[in-house]
Structure 1
Amino acid sequence: MDEWSVRENVKLRLVDPADAESLYEQIEKTRPQLAKFMPWGDATRSVEDERKFLTYCQERMEDQKLWNASIIIDGKAVGMIDLHNIDRANQHAEVGYWLGGEYQGNGVMTDCLEKLLSIGFDELGLHKIKLLAERVNVASNAVAKKVGFVLEGQLKDEIYSDGKFHNADLYAIVE
């Protein structure tokens, strides 16, 4: 399957380089916020950069080290959600996500993360999914808790973004 319904107007669709322009538009619109929490926020500087990244994702998916989807709202790619560092032997992976600013604040990411958990557990056969969120990223921490992730620990100086190291909360959910 290449597409999963989340809500009436929201879908997850496996990454496709054809979505580069739409995703880059959202990166441009949300750059200050993305750069604050995502190391790639400042580095993605063109549609071609995004297209290369999406092609790279497809290659990693073939190696089964990554599962990555675009978040589609009303037919337009406006964010991404993934399972990365997939460890088949130990049946776990880590989740990452971002969403264009104009689409935030109405539960879209919460619903997409719930769908991703279903895909991870039911389709990919994972046992545990982890989520790492900077302590200062209140929205990401709230999404993790809303979906049922449990705080397993706090990691000091774990993430370098916005020009400095940040502590991170490590969450996990077990099937």
Structure 2
Amino acid sequence: MFAIPVGEGAELRPLEPWNAEEFLEHVDRAREFAGPWVPATVIAKDLESARELLQRYVDKLASDTGRLYGVWLDGKLVGGVLFRVFDTATETCEVGVWLEPSATGRGLITNAARVLIDWAVDQRGMHRVEWLVSSRNDRSKALAERLGFVRDGVLRESFPWQGIRHDMEVWSVLAPEWRAARTAR
């Protein structure tokens, strides 16, 4: 398959059901750090549920409604990026990310998200890229801002997660804004 460099010793690759064991090991390392925000790190509890989650994204890929990629650092799965939603009819998609603590501060997720957004905008004609994030997740909001997303608004108490109703912030970047920011980089 393909591997796209996203930093020194790091690459972006598809995550598929055959990666379930490696994915589960990664989720176990990421669970406490990302679990408050990232459903995948809670849903994947054992090999079967990890494989089912990865299969759901293979099915989304086949129907052109989503995609899931892992970020490997020195051969070890340390994070991921995804299109949770990919809607070609409305030219809108939603990007999501996560990382385990050992790989923070290297720009890996920033670089991986840029690869996905570049592809969505340039190759697939997406006009609007969204970033939905809990108002409590300061790291993710800071990343959205670094990437050039603009905060559109808040969906108050819209996401019940682990016994807490989260306010979800909607951030977005439009294709012309993304291209202009990329040129300015």
TM-score, scaled to structure 2:
0.87
1:133 Cα offset (Å): 0.7
**Structure 1 partner of 2:121:** 121
- Distance (whole Å) between structure 2 residues aligned to residue 68 and residue 163 of structure 1: 26
Contact 1:22 1:78 in 2 (8 A): no
SS of the aligned residue for 2:36 comes to helix
- Distance (whole Å) between structure 2 residues aligned to residue 130 and residue 34 of structure 1: 19
Amino acid at match of 2:5: S
18-27 vs 39-48, greater mean Cα deviation: 39-48
**Structure 2 partner of 1:136:** 136
**Structure 1 partner of 2:67:** 67
Asked if 1:97 corresponds to 2:97, the answer is: yes
Distance change (3 Å), C-alpha of 1:59 and 1:87: same
Contact 2:7 2:107 in 1 (8 A): no
- Distance (whole Å) between structure 1 residues aligned to residue 52 and residue 39 of structure 2: 17
**Structure 2 partner of 1:48:** 48
12-21 vs 125-134, greater mean Cα deviation: 12-21
**Structure 2 partner of 1:5:** 5
1:91 Cα offset (Å): 0.7
Matches for 1:23-34 after TM superposition, within 5 Å = 23-34=23-34
1:39 Cα offset (Å): 3.2
1:139 Cα offset (Å): 0.4
Amino acid at match of 1:35: G
11-20 vs 152-161, greater mean Cα deviation: 11-20
1:55 Cα offset (Å): 1.8
1:162 Cα offset (Å): 2.9
- Distance (whole Å) between structure 1 residues aligned to residue 17 and residue 125 of structure 2: 27
Amino acid at match of 1:117: I
1:40 Cα offset (Å): 4.0
**Structure 2 partner of 1:85:** 85
Distance change (3 Å), C-alpha of 1:64 and 1:117: same
- Distance (whole Å) between structure 2 residues aligned to residue 63 and residue 159 of structure 1: 26
- Distance (whole Å) between structure 2 residues aligned to residue 94 and residue 68 of structure 1: 12
How large is the RMSD of aligned CA atoms in angstroms? Answer: 1.7
Q: Which has the higher contact order (CA 8 A, sep 6+)?
A: 1
Unmatched tracts of structure 2, length 5 or more = 176-185
Residues 35-88 of structure 1: CA distance to partner in whole angstroms, max 9, x if unpaired? 211234333211232122112211110000012211121222222211122111
- Distance (whole Å) between structure 2 residues aligned to residue 40 and residue 112 of structure 1: 18
Percent identity at matched positions? 26
Amino acid at match of 1:158: S
Contact 1:154 1:170 in 2 (8 A): yes
SS of the aligned residue for 1:124 comes to coil
**Structure 2 partner of 1:145:** 145
